[in-house]
């Protein structure tokens, strides 16, 4: 059917310009591989079929490919045209529109793709490009138009002459095709360029020359179509993604005092009424309840859960920790591999010594415990309900409920009534 859509995601390339051993598409924005964002976007379009083209270190990349997405392997990494060929071979029995996306453009939004697809289908085009107008187009392929403003081709930066380099309309790499127009013309692409690669972009000139209908849609926001090729571009895209994540939280009722210094990973959950103070770093898999107070200078590492109304204050590091409601961890503490109950007060400078040199050990602190300042809890340890530790204690044994301990190593002083 003409309106059916299949997507090919190109993700086979190396990481040459990133100067990295890791495939480019696995480099992260806000703690998530960039390809993850593209895969989500594709799923939101609900296409009939999806093929991800993998090549360089495909065994690493395939780990993040969800079920239902076909994996096509590009054996020879000789350019984007070859990659599309591999992708097409995975789209068995499909007829309709083929959308080509690049795995290194993670900021793209659904509305923009919809606009491209609607225009492509409405005009019954053979190919429709998503283009963008950039003040600094360096690095991108330039869109060549004739005197009637019809598209006649794309020229890559490396192959462009001075006049072409001045063109500000760029190829975003995102293209929609009539499947048979794509399939039947890929074979005419030749590696006649500086890199000696088979460029998908050459198909536009080939189609235009043969009289096929080539159209273009311009992206409203050029930021969205940023292709990431270098570490500098990665950090630029990370900044934009972080801004999006932070703004979404603010719209949902989270206060972020200084969005420029709130580094919150993709997938973090934060409840309404929580305040994030400046210089806070939140890594992956963190859930924060309602009306909490986090930071300034807090580092919540992976698998932290804060209940409602928790304070995780200044200079706190937490990792693999569950903190019960209304518990205070206010000043310079390390809480790792721990479960804290509700209404616990952790004094300044408390450390859970979780690592014995070989393995991580667990700390349990029950409800209403009072940990004195500068306590070191040598895990494994369990501090019973309503127990207290004196300032400077080094706890090496379990502490029963309602008991006060102090000293180095900590000994029982008395039972509470
Ligand atoms: C490409 C476009 C350029 C466009 C820019 C937009 C070509 C020839 N050029 O350039 O016009 O302005 O994107 O960001 O397409 N890949 C494969 N197999 C390969 C080579 C690449 O799967 O053999 C994948 C890469 O993993 C990447 C994508 O294709 O996700 C684009 O490749 P990249 O090398 O980044 O192309 P650009 O130089 O950015
Ligand atoms: Mg690129």
For 242, the token pair is 């972080």
Residues 148 and 246 in one domain: no
Task: Examine the domain organization and report whether 278 and 209 are in the same domain.
Answer: no
Distance 141 CA to ligand 1 centre (A): 10
Distance 80 CA to ligand 1 centre (A): 6
pLDDT in tens, 300-358: 999 999 999 999 999 999 999 999 999 999 999 999 999 999 999 999 999 999 999 99
pLDDT digits (tens, 9 = 90+) for 349-401: 999 999 999 999 999 999 999 999 999 999 999 999 999 999 999 999 999 99
**Averaged pLDDT, 159-164:** 96
Q: Which helix (H) or strand (E) holds 270?
A: strand 269-270
Q: What share of the chain is helix, strand, coil (3-state, %, to 5)?
A: 25, 35, 45
Average pLDDT, the chain: 97
Mean pLDDT of the 178-197 span: 96
Indicate the pLDDT class of residue 256, thresholds 50, 70 and 90. Answer: very high
Catalytic status, residue 120: no
Query: 212 and 73 in one domain?
Result: yes
d(CA 296, CA 150): 55
Over 80: is that where the pLDDT of 2 sits?
Answer: no
**pLDDT given for residue 78 in this prediction:** 96
State pLDDT tens for residues 88-123.
Answer: 999 989 999 999 999 999 999 999 999 999 999 999
Q: What average pLDDT does this structure show over 31-36?
A: 98
| Cβ of 12 less than 6 Å from ligand 1 | yes
Q: What is the pLDDT of residues 127-138, one digit of tens each?
A: 999 999 999 999
List of E strands, 151-227: 151-155, 169-178, 214-218
Residue nearest to atom 19 of ligand 1 (CA): 79
Separation of 103 CA from ligand 2 center, angstroms? 8
Q: What is the domain-level CATH number for residue 50?
A: 3.90.550.10
Give the ligand with the smallest distance to the CA of 172.
1
Domain count, the chain: 2
Measured distance CA(22)–CA(19) in Å, rounded: 9
pLDDT of amino acid 15: 86
Q: Is 276 helix (H, G, I), strand (E, B) or coil?
A: strand
Measured from the CA of 229, which atom of ligand 1 is nearest?
35
Same domain assignment for residues 271 and 134: no
Q: Do residues 180 and 239 both lie within one domain?
A: no
Secondary structure class of 414 (helix, strand, coil):
strand
Give the Å distance between the CA of 229 and the centre of ligand 2. 5
**Model confidence pLDDT, tens digit, residues 260-277:** 999 999 999 999 999 999
pLDDT above 70 coverage of the chain, percent: 100
Asked whether the predicted pLDDT for residue 185 surpasses 70, the reply is yes
- 167, 173, 175, 232: residue to mutate for ligand 1 pocket, most atoms within 8 A of CB: 173
- Ligand 1 mutation target, pool 8, 13, 82, 127, most atoms within 8 A of CB: 13
Structure confidence at residue 3 as a pLDDT band (50, 70, 90): confident
Report the CATH number that the domain containing residue 304 is assigned in CATH. Answer: 2.160.10.10
Structure tokens at 184: 């039947």
Backbone φ and ψ for 128, nearest 5 degrees, come out as: -130, 125
Same domain (yes/no): 148, 238: no
What pLDDT is stored for residue 86 in this prediction? Answer: 98
Q: Are residues 263 and 218 in the same domain?
A: no
Q: State whether 262 and 334 are in the same domain.
A: yes
Among 173, 194, 225, the domain boundary falls at: 225
Provide the domain limits for residue 404: 231-415
Task: Please work out whether the CB of residue 74 comes within 6 Å of at least one atom of ligand 1.
Answer: yes
Average confidence (pLDDT) over 17-37: 97
Q: What is the mean pLDDT of residues 409-414?
A: 96
């Amino acid at each position: 059917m003409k309106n059916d859509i299949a997507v090919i995601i190109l993700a086979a390339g190396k990481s040459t310009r990133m100067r990295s051993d890791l495939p480019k598409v696995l480099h992260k924005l806000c703690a998530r591989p960039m390809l993850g964002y593209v895969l989500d976007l594709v799923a939101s379009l609900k296409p009939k079929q999806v093929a991800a083209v993998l090549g360089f270190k495909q065994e690493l990349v395939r780990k993040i490919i969800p079920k239902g997405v076909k994996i096509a392997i590009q054996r020879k990494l000789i350019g984007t045209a070859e990659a599309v060929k591999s992708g097409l071979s995975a789209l068995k029995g499909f007829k309709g529109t083929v959308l080509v996306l690049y795995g290194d453009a993670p900021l793209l939004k659904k509305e923009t793709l919809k606009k491209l697809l609607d225009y492509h289908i409405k005009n019954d085009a053979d190919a429709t490009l998503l283009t963008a107008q950039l003040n600094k187009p360096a690095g991108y392929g330039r869109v060549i138009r004739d005197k009637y403003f019809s598209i006649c081709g794309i020229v890559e930066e490396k192959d462009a002459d001075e006049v072409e380099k001045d063109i500000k309309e760029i190829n975003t790499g995102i293209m929609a095709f009539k499947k048979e127009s794509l399939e039947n013309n890929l074979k005419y692409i030749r590696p006649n360029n500086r890199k000696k690669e088979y460029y998908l972009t050459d198909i536009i000139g080939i189609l235009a020359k043969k009289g096929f209908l080539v159209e273009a849609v311009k992206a409203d926001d050029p930021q969205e179509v940023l292709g990431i090729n270098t570490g500098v571009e990665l950090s630029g895209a990370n900044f934009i993604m972080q801004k999006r994540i932070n703004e979404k939280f603010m719209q949902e009722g989270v206060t972020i005092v200084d969005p420029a210094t709130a580094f919150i990973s993709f997938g973090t959950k934060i409840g309404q009424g929580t305040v994030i103070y400046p210089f806070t770093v939140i890594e992956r898999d963190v859930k924060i309840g309602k009306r909490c107070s986090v930071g300034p200078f807090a580092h919540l590492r992976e698998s932290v859960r804060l209940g409602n109304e928790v304070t995780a204050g200044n200079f706190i590091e937490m990792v693999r920790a569950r903190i019960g409601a209304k518990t205070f961890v206010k000043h310079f503490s390390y809480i790792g591999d721990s479960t804290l109950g509700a209404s616990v007060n952790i004094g300044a400078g408390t450390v859970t010594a979780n690592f014995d040199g070989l393995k991580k050990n667990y700390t349990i602190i029950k409800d209403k415990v009072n940990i004195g300042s500068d306590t070191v809890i040598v895990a494994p340890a369990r501090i019973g309900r309503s127990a207290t530790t004196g300032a400077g204690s080094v706890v090496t044994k379990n502490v029963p409920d309602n008991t006060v301990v102090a000293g180095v190593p900590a000994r029982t002083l008395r039972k509470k009534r």
